[in-house]
Chains A and B, each alone.
Chain A
Amino acid sequence: MAQRTLQQKLAILSDAAKYDASCASSGTDRRDSRSGGIGSAGGSGICHAYTPDGRCISLLKILMTNFCIYDCAYCINRVSSNVERARFSPEEVVKLTLEFYRRNMIEGLFLSSGIIRSPDQTMGDMVRIARMLRVDHGFKGYVHLKTIPDAAPDLVAEAGLYADRLSVNIELPQDASLRHLAPEKRPETIRAAMADVRLNREAAKERSHTGKRPLRFAPAGQSTQMIVGADAATDRDILRTSANLYSGYRLKRVYYSAFSPIPDSSAALPLIKPPLMREHRLYQADWLMRFYGFEADEIGAAHPSGNLDLAIDPKLAWALANRAQFPVDVVRAPKEMLLRVPGFGTKTVDRILAARRSGAVRYADLLRMGAIMSKAQPFVTLSDWRPGGLTDSDGLRARFAPPPEQLSLF
C-alpha cells in the first residue's frame, strides 16, 4: 500500500469520525495562554463552523485509526467493513490540532479510535497524544478523549489528567441490542467505565486531610451517545436509559444519534433514512428531564405507543395529555408549574418571576419576554387573557400539528 499523504489520512479519518454527534467544548476549567503555552478554554464553547448536516464543528473530530478488531454492525469501521483504512501517527494528530487551532478553526481535539490489537494499546496511544499536546506543547485548548471500555484503570486515570472531557458510548438503548449488534462489547463494562470516571471525578474534588487538592480529573465531565433507530427500543425505553445514565454517572450530556446509513453497510441492519425528527424530539425530551423537572415516564406516557409524537414537541404533547392541570394562572403559579407551560422556556420563566415582583404581567409583556404565546394561549390565564373552552377543546392538537404530508420513499 502506497504511503498516504496527511490530506488523504485526514479525509479518511474524519469521514470515519463523523457518526459521533458530540462536539461540546464548554464548561471546563477557565485557563488561557498568558502564562505560557497556547490556547484558552472555559466558559461557553465556540462552534467555529457548521456543515450542511446542521452539526457544528467545534473540535477537530478524528479517529486515531479506523482499523478495528470489533465487529459492531452499525459502525462503518467494523472489522467486516471494506472501508479504506488509515492511521495517524501521534505527531500528525498533534500537528493538525495545533495548526488548525492557531488559525482559529477549532476549540481543540476530540480524539477517538478503532480498537487496534487491544483496548490497552489503543488507550495508551490516545493518552500519549493528549500528553504530547498538554505537556510538550502547553496546549490549553479543549481535549475530549473517547475512553475505550476495558482499558486499564491507570490509563483512564492518566487520560482524565489531560482531557477536559471523557466519554464512552453506551451505543444502544438496550443491553440486548448491544449484545446482538456489537458482540465484542459488553454493556456492563461500558457502564463500569462510566462509573469509574464518576468516581475519579469525585475523588479529584475532595481535599485530602492535609487540605491539598488532588489533580483535576476531566473537569468538563463525561458524556455518552446512543444510536436511535437501529433497534426496536421505544422513546420511553430510550429516555429511561438516559435517566439511569444521568442519575448514575453524573453525565453532562447524552447525545442521540439518528441511525444513519453508512457506506459498506452490514446485512444485520437495514439502510434507513435517518430519523432526524425523532432525534430532535428526543433532545427536546432530554432537555425537559434536565431543566424542566420532568421524569422520563411522564414524557414517555404522553402517547400509548411509548414513542414521542413527531408532529408536536414533547412538552406540548404532555400538556395536551394532562389538560386537567391547565390553564395555569401566570401571576400565581409556582415556578415548577410555569416550567410546564408549552411556549415558556427556562429564561422566560425566570423573567416572568422577576416581572411579577414589579407588578402585573400582561399578554403583551409575555410576548416581549420571549414566551411563544401561540403555543401558550390555551394553557394560561392572565388579567387580560382567558382561554375559555380552548384548553379542553377537541381540535387543540390539530391547531399545532403540521398538516399531514405524503411520505416520501427513501
Chain B
Amino acid sequence: MIRVTLPRFGRFDAWRDAARDLARSRMPPERVAWADPDTPADLFGSEAAPPPGDHPVTATKDFLQLARQVASHSDPERWSLLYGALMRAQVDRTFLANPADPMLDRLTRMAKSVRRDIHKMHAFVRFHELPSEGPRRRFGAWFEPEHPVLEAAAPFFAKRFADMDWAIATPEGVATFTGGDIAYDPPGVRPDLPDDASHDLWQTYFANIFNPARIKTDAMRSEMPVKYWKNLPETRLIPEMLADAPRRVQAMRDAGATEAPAFAPRVTARVRLQPDDAVPDSLEQAAAQAARCTRCELCHAATQTVFGQGDPGSGLMIVGEVPGDQEDLAGKPFVGSAGQLLRQTMAEVGLDPGRAWLTNAVKHFRFTPRGKRRIHQTPDRSHVDRCRWWLDLERKFVAPRLTVAMGATAAYALTGNRATLTPRRGGIEPARDGAPVLITWHPSLILRLPDDRAPAALAELRGDLARAADMVA
C-alpha cells in the first residue's frame, strides 16, 4: 500500500498534486491509502509513491469543483472515492454527466452536504466583541461544523467583515483574520468568549419576532438542525417560548375586541377619504372621481384609471380604444409604442400632441396574464358602455370642435355605430351629441399589419390627422 498523508490545511491542493502524479503512473485506487494528519502512522502500509509515469491525466472543470467540495467532507473515504472517480474518468468520463450514475450520485450528495454545512456555518457563527487596543474592532467566535469546512467557509467572513479583526475557532482549527489576511492554525483550547450586550438585544429580538399563534417547529428544526443549537444562544429561549405560546394565544382570544382610544375617530376622520358622488363640475373633479372608478370589473386587475390628458382648450379630442401595458403602468394615455406612433404622426402633420385632448374609450387596461407578460384584450361592449360616463364628461368639459375616433371601439363609443370600420374610415359622422367625429385607424393596427399593408394604412392615418389639423386650425 502506498500511503499519502495530506496536510491539515490546503488539503485539496495537496490531494490534487498527489492524485495527478499517481494517476500518471495509472496506480490502481485500491493500492493507495489516503491519510489525514490525525490518522495513526501504523494503520496502513507506508510504501513510498513511485515517480510519476508519463500517462496523460485530465479532469474537467466540473469534476474539480465537485472534488474541491467533497474534500471538505468528514468521511475518511472521500480521498479514495475521488481518486477512484479520477481514474475512472481517464477511461470514460461520460458518467460525470449522468445523474443516474451511482458513483457520481454519491459524490454529488457528499458535495451537497458540505455546501449545506458551509452555508450553515455562514449562518450560525455568532461573534462576540473582544477588547481591542488598536483602531480596528475585534471579535471572536466558537463554532462546531459537521464537516471540516473551516478553510472553505472562512473567505466569506473575510469579504463581509473586512474592517474588523476576527477569529473563528473550531475543533478542526482556528481561522484568524488580522489586518486583511486570514491565517489558519491547528485547534487549540475552546476560547472563553466575554459577555456582549448586543447578544442580550438579539435575544430580545428573537423572542419578540416570534408569532405565538403559528407553531411550526418542524420547519424550524429542518432549517436550524438541533446539532447546531449548542452554539446558538438564542435557541435556549425556544422551550419557554413554546411553553408560553398557548397562554398568549388564549389571552388574545379572551381579551377579544377592545374599545378604540378616544383620539382614534378624530384621526381617521382627518385622513379617511370621503366618498364623492356629486356630478363633477370640472375636468379635475372628473379625473379625481375616475381614479376611484369601480363602474366595471376591469379596475380590479388593472393598475389605475388612465384618464385623458392634454390641452382641454384646443378644440381637438383624439380618442383611442383602451390603455395598454405601458399606459396602465404610467397612468398616462398614449405612452406605449402605438402612442409614440400617434405622437410622431401628429407632429409630422403639424399637430402638437400637447395641444389636443388625448383619451381612450375605456379607461382601464384589459389583459390576460401569461407568465411575465400581460396580453392585451379588446374591451367588451359593456365596458365601453359603462365607461362612456367618463368619456361624456370629458366631452362636456373639453367641448371639442372635432373629435378623432381611432379604431372601431372609439368609433362605437362616440357614435353608437358598431358597423365595420373599413368603409367608414376617413368619413365624418355625428357623435351621439351631434358634434363631428372623424373616423380613422388606430395606430396599434398599423403596428400589427404586415409590412406590405402597413405603409398605406399609415398614410391614411397621416392624411386623416392632417385633415383634422386643418379643421381645427
Smallest CB–CB gap between A91 and chain B, Å? 15
Q: Assess whether B241 is in contact with A51, with CB atoms less than 8 Å apart.
A: yes
Asked if B127 is an interface residue, CB under 8 A from chain A, the answer is yes
Number of A residues with CB within 8 Å of any CB on chain B: 95
Cross-chain pair count, CB within 8 angstroms: 280
Asked if A204 is an interface residue, CB under 8 A from chain B, the answer is no
Question: Are A359 and B98 CB-contacts (below 8 A) given A52-B241, A70-B271, A183-B272?
Answer: yes
Q: Assess whether B141 is in contact with A358, with CB atoms less than 8 Å apart.
A: no
Residues of chain B from 208 to 227 with CB closer than 8 A to chain A in the complex: 208-220, 223-224
Q: Assess whether B329 is in contact with A102, with CB atoms less than 8 Å apart.
A: no
Q: Assess whether A271 is in contact with B256, with CB atoms less than 8 Å apart.
A: yes
Contact of B137 among A18, A51, A102, A274 (CB under 8 A): A102
Give the residues in chain B near A79, CB-CB below 8 Å. Answer: 260, 263-264, 267-268
Q: Assess whether A81 is in contact with B223, with CB atoms less than 8 Å apart.
A: no
Contact with A along B100-134 (1 / 0, CB 8 A): 11100100000000000001001111111100000
Q: Assess whether A358 is in contact with B94, with CB atoms less than 8 Å apart.
A: yes
Give the residues in chain A near B185, CB-CB below 8 Å. Answer: none
CA A272 to CA B314, docked complex, whole Å: 58
Residues of chain B from 233 to 279 with CB closer than 8 A to chain A in the complex: 234-235, 238, 241-242, 245, 249, 251-253, 255-261, 263-264, 267-268, 270-273
Give the residues in chain B near A186, CB-CB below 8 Å. Answer: 273, 292
CA A338 to CA B139, docked complex, whole Å: 50
Give the residues in chain B near A37, CB-CB below 8 Å. Answer: 163
Q: Assess whether A260 is in contact with B209, with CB atoms less than 8 Å apart.
A: no
Among the 9-residue stretches A54-62, A306-314, A316-324, A385-393, the one with 4 or more Cβ atoms under 8 Å from chain B is A54-62
Give the residues in chain B near A175, CB-CB below 8 Å. Answer: 294, 299-300
Smallest CB–CB gap between A99 and chain B, Å? 5
Contact with A along B128-159 (1 / 0, CB 8 A): 11000000010101000000000000001111
Q: Assess whether A54 is in contact with B219, with CB atoms less than 8 Å apart.
A: yes
Residue of B nearest to A260 (CB): B213
Give the residues in chain A near B271, CB-CB below 8 Å. Answer: 69-70, 184
Give the residues in chain A near B292, CB-CB below 8 Å. Answer: 186, 188
Q: Assess whether B119 is in contact with A46, with CB atoms less than 8 Å apart.
A: yes
Q: Assess whether A355 is in contact with B210, with CB atoms less than 8 Å apart.
A: no
Contact of B303 among A36, A60, A188, A258 (CB under 8 A): A188
Asked if A250 is an interface residue, CB under 8 A from chain B, the answer is yes
Asked if A14 is an interface residue, CB under 8 A from chain B, the answer is yes
Question: Are A103 and B215 CB-contacts (below 8 A) given A54-B220, A188-B292, A247-B374?
Answer: no
Asked if A376 is an interface residue, CB under 8 A from chain B, the answer is no
Among the 9-residue stretches B63-71, B196-204, B438-446, the one with 4 or more Cβ atoms under 8 Å from chain A is B196-204
Among the 9-residue stretches A3-11, A159-167, A398-406, the one with 4 or more Cβ atoms under 8 Å from chain B is A3-11
Asked if A298 is an interface residue, CB under 8 A from chain B, the answer is no
Q: Assess whether A261 is in contact with B303, with CB atoms less than 8 Å apart.
A: no
Q: Assess whether B159 is in contact with A14, with CB atoms less than 8 Å apart.
A: no
Apart from A192-B303, A258-B214, A359-B98, list 4 A-B contacts with CB within 8 A. A47-B224, A54-B220, A192-B331, A248-B369
Can you list 11 A-B pairs, Cβ within 8 angstroms, ordered by A?
A11-B207, A38-B161, A46-B119, A50-B219, A79-B263, A103-B127, A189-B304, A199-B329, A261-B213, A358-B94, A362-B100
Q: Which residues of A contact B (CB under 8 A)?
A: 6-7, 10-12, 14-15, 17-19, 32-34, 36-40, 44, 46-57, 60-61, 69-71, 79-82, 96, 99-100, 102-105, 174-175, 183-184, 186-189, 191-192, 194-196, 198-199, 243-244, 246-248, 250, 258, 260-267, 271, 273-274, 276, 296, 351-352, 354-355, 357-359, 361-362, 365, 368-369, 410
